[in-house]
């Protein structure tokens, strides 16, 4: 039976491995035909900042992968308006098209899931 799965991303991209690990799990999980959503709140919104260039720090820039998620039928990307505002970024700063939600809408999104996977 198809389940509603929400990947909850709350970390900045390069300070730890959470962000990259989340994306790995999303790609693996995409093979199982579930109803998948990705939500970015708190520092997680920073993962989607466009223009990332990691050549100077010796790490892999995984942000282009967000643009390829559509090919894996992962099409529901949600971002917190409040989290972006607190960090002085906006929708135009993002590497991929997303749905921007306020806090009440985010609570509803979490509420309607069968499971939430946190990173």
Partner 1 sequence: MSILHTVNKSPFEKSSLESCLKYVKANSAILLIEDAVYAALQGTEIGERLGSAASEVRLFVLGPDLRARGLVDKPLIETIEVVDYEGFVELAAQYDKVQAWL
Of residues 1, 51, 111, 112, which one binds partner 1 by CB under 8 A? Answer: 51
Is residue 67 at the binding interface for partner 1, with CB under 8 A as the rule? no
41 token code pair: 């709140």
* Sheet of strand 4-9, all strands in order from the earlier edge strand to the far edge: 99-101, 76-80, 35-40, 4-9, 115-118
Closer residue to partner 1, CB minimum distance, 28 or 64: 64
Q: Which residues contact 51 (CB under 8 A, 6 or more apart)?
A: none
Closest approach of partner 1 to the CB of residue 46, in Å: 7
Residues that bind partner 1 (CB under 8 A): 11-15, 42-43, 46, 49-57, 59, 61, 63, 86-89, 93, 95
């Amino acid at each position: 039976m198809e389940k509603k799965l929400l990947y909850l991303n709350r970390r900045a991209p390069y300070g730890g491995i959470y962000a990259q690990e989340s994306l790995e799990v999303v790609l693996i999980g995409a093979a199982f035909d579930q109803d998948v959503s990705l939500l970015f709140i708190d520092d997680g919104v920073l993962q989607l900042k466009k223009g990332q260039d990691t050549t100077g720090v010796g790490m892999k820039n995984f942000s282009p992968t967000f643009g390829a998620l559509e090919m894996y039928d992962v099409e529901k990307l949600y971002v917190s308006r409040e989290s972006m505002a607190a960090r002085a970024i906006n929708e135009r700063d993002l590497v991929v098209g997303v749905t921007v939600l306020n806090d009440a809408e985010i609570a509803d999104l979490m509420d309607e899931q069968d499971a939430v996977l946190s990173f």
